[in-house]
A = this chain, B = another copy of it.
Amino acid sequence: MGDKGRRVSIKDVARHSGVGIGTVSRVINNSDRISPETRQKVLNSIKELGYIPNRAAQSMRSHKTKDIAFFIDISNLTFSRIATGTYQYLESQGYTLTLCHIGKNRSTTLEKVKSFLNGRTFDGIILSLPSEENEALNQYLKKVDVPIVTIDRDIPGLVTGVVTDYHGSLQKAVDYLISLGHRGIALVNGLPIIRPSKLITRSFREAMERNGMTVDESLLFHGEYSRDFGAQTMLNLLPRIRHREVTAIVCMHDEIFHGMLRVMKDYHLRCPEDVSVITLEDYELMQLLTPPFTVIRRQLIDMGEKVAQGLINYIQNPELYGQLEPYSLPTEFIIRESCAPPA
């Protein structure tokens, strides 16, 4: 902790350069027409005095903060990827990012969002919500009077910033499994209270039907994005895998995947000999597992960047708000060694 001397203010600059504070303000915001000489004079004083505008004061007057709120579950690895992209773009545009960790617990989301937003101002908000069906929250958010953009969520009244396009990859994944000879294919997916889960199920169905298969509804698993759900699902699946009723699994979440893997390990289920597996996210470790896993990859950093881009665009062009299509993030299907013809 250093010197506590009063910070130099706009007044000091005005006095030092012999102009009015309004003029200084105009120079800072390079608004209006200002004579080049005056501008230079002021600029010199600013430099000489080491003046830095006080953001709190600026935003109090202008109602702009250059600060974006980001609501997300930061305990997950996916987060750090998305956040990195978001951060980088925001920084490049002179914005800062303030985090709000809403956790996984859906029942506390509203409360967290509310108390976070209380009395604070943001120029915009990015949301990655654990549910689309929190009516109270949705109502509340509609009333917030800054641009809000969601990540992979369809919430009536809110604007979707980015959306993941799993369709093509899922088609490829299912085609691939079927070409390998699989018939009993399980889909392990998130809760259908969010957009991606719904779309994934739909695409999966379509892919199966296109291949002339009927979908066994008991092979469609929906649950929390958690290791527990993954473990439990795998436990359920175990007998059917052993009876060769199920020979392949498509798992659409990384934490769920960890849970499944854990049980596979514990029960000495071999992959791909006993069961073929395709999962989501292409983290480095996916290639380092045994076997290296066949995955659906999405560019998470890109995703974070694109939401931020969309939001800033809306902030700077309010008339566009809600008029643009969400950015559609492509995915890739990457074949490695976790799938084989059923025994």
Binds B, one of A115-123, A177-185, A196-204: A115-123
A76 B80 Cβ-Cβ under 8 A? yes
- Chain A residues 58 to 117 lying within 8 A of chain B, measured CB to CB, are 58-60, 65, 67, 74-77, 79-81, 83-84, 87-88, 91, 96-101, 116
Determine whether A327 belongs to the interface, using a CB cutoff of 8 Å to chain B.
Answer: no
Tell me if A96 and B80 are in contact (CB < 8 A).
no
17 contacts between A and B (CB under 8 A): A1-B146, A1-B147, A2-B143, A2-B145, A54-B119, A56-B65, A56-B120, A60-B60, A67-B98, A74-B87, A75-B81, A75-B84, A83-B101, A96-B99, A96-B120, A261-B288, A285-B289
A156: shortest Cβ distance to chain B, in Å? Answer: 14
A1-B144, A74-B80, A96-B100 given; name 13 further pairs at CB < 8 Å.
A55-B121, A56-B59, A74-B84, A74-B87, A87-B101, A96-B116, A96-B120, A98-B99, A99-B99, A258-B285, A258-B288, A288-B289, A289-B290
Interface residues of A in 128-170 (CB under 8 A from B): 142-148
Candidates B55, B98, B287; contact of A97 at CB < 8 Å: B98
Q: Given A2-B144, A99-B87, do A77 and B80 touch, yes or no (CB 8 Å)?
A: yes
Q: Is A297 among interface residues, defined by CB-CB distance under 8 A?
A: no
Q: Are A227 and B284 in contact (CB under 8 A)?
A: yes
Residues of A within 8 A of B (CB): 1-4, 52-60, 65, 67, 74-77, 79-81, 83-84, 87-88, 91, 96-101, 116, 118-121, 142-148, 227, 258, 261-262, 265, 284-285, 287-290, 292, 321
* Cα–Cα, bound, A76→B144 (Å): 33
Query: A88–B60 contact, CB under 8 A?
Result: no
B145-A52 in contact (CB<8A): no
Chain B residue at minimum C-beta to C-beta distance from A140: B2
Given A54-B119, A96-B116, are A145 and B4 neighbors across the interface (CB < 8 Å)? yes
Residues in B whose Cβ lies below 8 Å from that of A88: 101
A321-B1 in contact (CB<8A): yes
Asked whether, in the complex, the Cβ of B288 is within 8 Å of the Cβ of A262, the reply is: yes
Residues of B within 8 Å of A3, CB to CB, are 143, 145
Least CB distance from A139 to B in Å reads: 10
8 Å CB contact of A75 from B80, B121, B258, B287? B80
In the complex, which residues of chain B have a beta carbon less than 8 angstroms from the beta carbon of A98? 67, 96-99
Q: Is the CB of A91 within 8 A of B87?
A: no
Residues of B within 8 A of A288 (CB): 258, 261-262, 265, 289
